[in-house]
Amino acid sequence: MASNFNSGGGETTDLAGFASEFGRTDCSDQDNDPPVINASVEPPPNATGWNNTDVTVSFECTDTASGIKTCPDPVRVSSEGQGQVISGTAVDFAGNSATVSVTLNIDKTPPRIEIYSPSDDFVTNSALVTVTGMINDNGADAGINMLEAINGDNVQVIVKSPIYETAVQVKDGIFLAEDVVLPAGSSSIDVIAKDQADNTSISKITGNFIPTLPSNGANSLRVLTYNTAFLSFTVDMPLDITISPNSGNFSGLDDYDRATKIAQGILRGAQEVVVLNEVFGEFPKNRLVTLLKGTYNHYISKLRGPALMEAVSLNALVDIAPFPIPVPDIPLIGDYLVHPGDSGLMIFSRYPFLPLTGPNPPNDSDCQDETCEFAGKNNGSSLSPQDFAFHIFNACADFDCFASKGVGLVKIDTPNQPSYVAFTHLQADYPGVVTLTRAKRNTQYQEIKQELLKNSIPAEELVGFPVYLAGDLNTPGANKADTPPSEWWDLFHPLTSDDNFFACGNNGPCFEQFGNNDLLTDSWGFETSANDPGITNEDDNARLDYILHNSADDTLCMQHSMIAWEVAESGALWYSDHYPIRADFNKKTKWCSANDDAPNPYYGTELVEFPDTSCDEDPNTSAPPCVQDITYGAEIINPGNFQWYKITQPGSYSIKITYTVPGENVAFDVYHNSDLSRPISPFIQDEHPDWSLPFSMLEPPYYIRVYAVDSSPQPKPDRTAANRGYNINFHQHLCRYPEDGCFLPPGALEYPYKWPEITLISKVLDLWFKFKTAGVKNGHLDSNPNYYPAVKLQQEALQLSNLDCMKGMTLEEFDKNIPPNLIQEIPFIDVEIDDDHDWHDDGRKDERYVAPELGTDTNDILKVYYVVMHRKDIPDCSPIIPTWTRFETTLSYFIPGLVRCFLQADDSGVGEDDEIRFYTYFDAATDPSWASQCDNNWCPKRIFDEPKGQDYIDNESSLRGYFVNRVHLDLHEEEDDDPDILLAHDGNIDPLNPWYTSLKDVFGKVFREYTDNPNSEEADYEYYMYFNICHEEADCRN
């Protein structure tokens, strides 16, 4: 179709004299109107106004009075360029003329693609590759300025493998596609670039993904379990209709894209065995298999048998389901049947499955009934009934009965000796019937024990080979430090369990023989920090997902249980209502576990102990001598081996690790006791030449994990390395001179210190503390554009006489050299001394020093200052004196949490395509610091997790937020035809006041006023936002 252009009242020439020459003097016959001229372009431009071929401009001329004398011939344009103007003029016999013009943009040059990595003919043993390269589009500008054209930033780029495709952004001419998934064997990767003129280029590289079995050995096994929340129902119509209730509910992704993201996360995690729950529906099953089978080429993708509930109509299913089921707008669809689902269980293994040799392995998926079905691969062949066991539970309740709820089992050919992995998803709780559902769940545990494990595993292998049970057990988790009664105690704790088969606990080794009935241990409940709750489902605020194990004849060590964050999230995206958990197992070796209460301490954590801070070098005192450095010589013995150390004294520490053999590298991570899944960051990234990385550890215990890494520029864990020797040095900072200064985190974390005794030989009169603070970002709401936060530094003592021994504090700025050099002393602007506002109402006496407004570095990074506490050198002040120190600022510490939009306000269907967005402004009135989109029911959770940039505090894993002066919230609901701003930030909101603890109400009140009284004409949903605003770290943790 050609594009048409009309003269539209173009230029007109009236040559009246020309007409009179022919004797036309009758005014009624005079032609004063211009002709009409139209221009058409063939082929027409694309939607962006560009052509990528030669263009012909044709003209059509008409005149209803004197007629057309001349009309332009077609013009063929072949030259490339932007803004080319082609004009044509029509003239009638009366001499009137009209002109029409068209503007052409022609670009016939395709973008140029250069792939940087991987190189052509690459070979890899990983299913994931990162593809990077450059796009150069120097055609005829392609509708953008020349710099952008050359950089190719307006070029669309797609990166494809045979099983994966993704669109990537181009910035400054560079594109990057991470986690491109490859199939096993030889394949190609295509990079497809298309500019605005639709010129397309394809560049291809070939590679070979050769899966290699992990050479871990020594019983090393990494197991992951993940409830993926893929719900699916098929309506039995002439053409089957599939309904996926959770499609779009997690990060706005449909089931296909969500399965893709989950598969990429699994491949990043490098597990040997992966157990998945709630994978209902063929679309997610097939996608997961497609992406994972290159690495995990032994798998079970479907287990189905007779369910305990019959098929029901879709209308009946909607009535009994505990969650909304969207009903398609199809006549009579509600009257058609929906059949019960399969088990929703999947398992993937990098090792083959072995035949089961137990006395009577059940297999409820292998029957003549049409409801029975199993699918998978083993050793390159289709799955056989001898490769696995499957038992459908005889007990179920409520909606759980509308599936083949059961438990599967495989025997895996792991190095050294086989391992058994049972995988299941137990009875869920439903409102009003919790007593019933718990009873059914307890019966299911017994069925796992009697019907599956004891029938499928020979008795000697049940205790001698590693045995694991993984999945969503739906039992709210607890741990060894909790108190009864609870369902967890009744099932898993050896002191209270009625049947100790699942309650070996920390009493190992457990053998399930010699009259004892205990076998399995809840790894998270007994063998990690008791302060780490391991929440796997935030809706229920509970640990519902488990990995249980036996002791394998007292040879097995559970090294580390953790939330597998790299599987669960990608930046701000979340893929399920559960978090995946992972456990690393290995042969028992020295210090192999984070278990504080290991039956044999040799296999638990190594305690690193220093004298307290009152240590003294004077031998005439009763204080112990100071020991600031403790060094261990140790070895990573087995492939995949971890070693654990623990520090229980609050203070400041630096950790340095060196290698016995150059190139045989090891690394370490430091974890706070409340979260052994995400390591904390150093107080500052600058390494000391002797002590290396510094850490603030004021809330002990802290756990330090050592493991082998490769020698790449960004070292990755190397689970194949063995016999790697190393030395690890722990340095305790005693705060007695600047270079050895201690670290003050923000807020309520006080730094305890015992001043040593003053003697003739030893006099400690000054203590040096470092702290970090921030300025306010550009665009802040304060009227003073140079506003910076003030700082208060506070010290406490048990009595006023102790404070009387303090000469006060000085605030000092040093450079970053070692040893640091004094830049300036900063005088305090106020001092408050009283006994009325103790931090924790503990009767201590305190004083506060108020600092002036402190600036930041020119690049707006957090700046480090020193505060020095001074002690009087008089006899009355010579004994040991305990004090506590902390700092706070006029900035508040903002830690957002879960954001959710829930409960559509009406059921009219209006708003199904709405976009709901929360915008949060820190300090600035423009450019939100964070924005989140909410589709249907769910927003991404913990969107602020590990934010980066100025004002970010990174020295504590639990502190993941910002120092802020003001916080404002916008709530937008944007319909296709009428965007609404439902709640906007208001410059009149009072700034947050950090000297008080009830800071949640400052903007929370404003937000609640809207959500409690939504405007029914604007709101299709009610909204909830969980957040915390605080200046005390203890508050931030809650």
pLDDT in tens, 366-406: 988 888 999 999 988 999 999 999 999 999 999 999 999 99
**All residues at 6 or more sequence positions from 795 whose CB lies less than 8 Å from its CB, including other chains:** 803, 806, 809, 846, 847, 869, 883, 884, 885
User: For 905-923, what is the mean pLDDT?
Assistant: 43
Across the range 298-324, mean pLDDT stands at: 93
Cβ atoms of 940 and 925 within 8 Å: the answer is no
Distance CA 7, CA 1007 (A): 57
pLDDT greater than 90 at residue 982? no
- pLDDT tens column, 698-724: 989 999 999 999 988 889 899 889 999
pLDDT in tens, 849-859: 777 666 655 44
What share of the chain has pLDDT > 70, as a percent? 75
State residue 153's pLDDT score.
59
Alpha-carbon gap, residue 421 to 406, rounded angstroms: 14
Task: Provide the mean pLDDT of the chain.
Answer: 80
Asked if 284 and 230 count as a contact pair (C-beta separation under 8 A), the reply is yes
* Token reading at 247: 């499609």
Quote the CA–CA distance of 118 and 176 in Å, as a whole number.
Answer: 11
Does residue 4 have a pLDDT over 80?
A: no
Close Cβ partners of 310 (under 8 Å, ≥ 6 residues apart): 340
The string of DSSP codes covering 412-433 is E--SSS-EEEEEEEPPPP-TT-
CB atoms inside a 10 Å sphere around CB 947 = 17
Q: Cis ω on the peptide bond leading into residue 701 (within 30° of 0)?
A: yes
Mean pLDDT, range 804-818, rounded to an integer: 82
Taking only the tens place, the pLDDT of each residue in 194-216 is 999 999 999 999 999 999 877 65
* Burial degree of 272 (CB within 10 A; 0-12, 13-18, 19+): buried
Confidence at residue 816, expressed as pLDDT on a 0 to 100 scale: 74
**Helix (H, G, I), strand (E, B), or coil: what is residue 463?**
helix
3-state secondary structure of 162: coil
Nearest CA among 275, 295, 133, 289 for reference residue 213: 295
Identify which of 747, 1033, 746, 784 has the alpha carbon closest to the alpha carbon of residue 923: 784
Residue 22 has a pLDDT of: 39
| Predicted local confidence at residue 293, as pLDDT | 96
Q: Which two tokens stand for residue 188?
A: 């190609």
pLDDT digits (tens, 9 = 90+) for 662-704: 989 999 999 999 899 988 888 887 788 999 999 999 989 999 9
Residue 470 has pLDDT above 70, yes or no: yes
C-alpha distances in Å from residue 952, one per residue of 215, 775, 1022: 41, 11, 31
d(CA 869, CA 866) in angstroms, rounded, equals: 10
**pLDDT tier at 759 (50, 70, 90 boundaries)?**
confident
What pLDDT was estimated at residue 856? 56
Residues near 230 by Cβ (< 8 Å), separated by ≥ 6?
A: 244, 246, 255, 258, 259, 278, 279, 280, 281, 284, 344
> Which has the closest alpha carbon to 130: 251, 267, 36?
267
Residue 312 to residue 318: CA distance in whole angstroms: 10
Over residues 572-629, the pLDDT tens digits come to 467 899 999 999 999 999 999 999 888 899 999 999 999 999 998 787 777 888 999 9
Band of the pLDDT at 786, cuts 50, 70, 90? very low
Tokens standing for residue 744: 């003050």
Amino acid at 98: A
Asked if pLDDT for residue 346 goes beyond 90, the answer is yes
Query: CA-CA distances (angstroms) from residue 673 to 246, 320, 546, 862?
Result: 35, 42, 20, 26
Task: Please list the alpha-helical segments (H only) found in 762-838.
Answer: 800-804
The residue ranking higher by pLDDT, 296 or 891, is: 296
pLDDT of res. 6? 62
Instruction: Outline where DSSP puts E strands in 220-263.
Output: 221-230, 233-235, 241-243
pLDDT at 916 over 60: no
Q: Which of 330-344, 451-465, 1004-1018 has the lowest mean pLDDT?
A: 1004-1018
pLDDT at residue 650 above 80? yes
Q: Out of 51-65, 260-274, 800-814, which region has the weakest mean confidence (pLDDT)? A: 800-814
End-to-end CA distance of the chain: 64
Name the least confident of 70-74, 156-160, 569-573.
569-573
Token pair in block for residue 963? 């120092």
Under 8 Å between Cβ of 982 and 1010: yes
Q: Quick one: how many helices (H) and strands (E) in the chain? A: 14, 62
Q: Is the pLDDT of residue 792 over 50?
A: yes
Q: What one-character-per-residue DSSP string does 930-997 give?
A: EEEEEBTTBPPS-TTSS--STTB--S-TT--SEEES-EEEEEEEE-SS-EEEEE---TTSPPP-TTSS
- Written as one letter, the residue type at 61 is C
pLDDT of residue 416: 86
How does 119-154 read in b/e, with b if 16+ C-beta sit within 10 Å? eeeeeeeebbbebbbbbbbebbbbbbeeebbbbbbb
Q: Using an 8 Å Cβ cutoff, are 549 and 561 in contact?
A: no
Q: Measuring CA to CA, which residue among 368, 439, 375, 362 is closest to residue 406?
A: 362
The pLDDT-based confidence of 828 (bands split at 50, 70, 90) is confident
20 membership: H or E segment, kind and range: helix 16-20
Sheet of 830-834: strand order equals: 751-755, 881-889, 791-797, 845-851, 830-834
Residue 610 pLDDT: 95
SS3 of residue 575 by DSSP: coil
- By C-alpha distance, which of 593, 437, 616, 432 is closest to 521? 593
pLDDT at site 964: 53
Q: Are strands 419-425 and 467-472 parallel, antiparallel or unpaired?
A: parallel
The full 3-state SS of 335-371, as one line of letters, equals HCEECCECCCCEEEECCCEECCCCCCCCECCCCCCCC
Alpha-carbon distance of 664 to 658, in angstroms, equals: 10
Pairing between strand 651-659 and 724-732?
A: antiparallel
| β-bridge partners, 831 | 849
Order of strands across the sheet that contains 693-697: 629-636, 724-732, 651-659, 693-697
In Å, how far are 254, 681, 695, 709, 712 from 686, measured between CA atoms? 44, 12, 11, 21, 21
The pLDDT assigned to 19 comes to 40
Amino acid at 183: P
Please indicate, yes or no, whether the overall pTM of this predicted structure exceeds 0.95: no
Smallest CA-to-CA distance from 468 within 420, 500, 410 is with: 420
d(CA 908, CA 707) in angstroms, rounded, equals 57
**What does the pLDDT average to over 509-528?**
80
Percent of the chain's residues with pLDDT above 90: 53
Q: From 507, 322, 339, 523, select the one nearest 429 (Cα to Cα).
A: 322
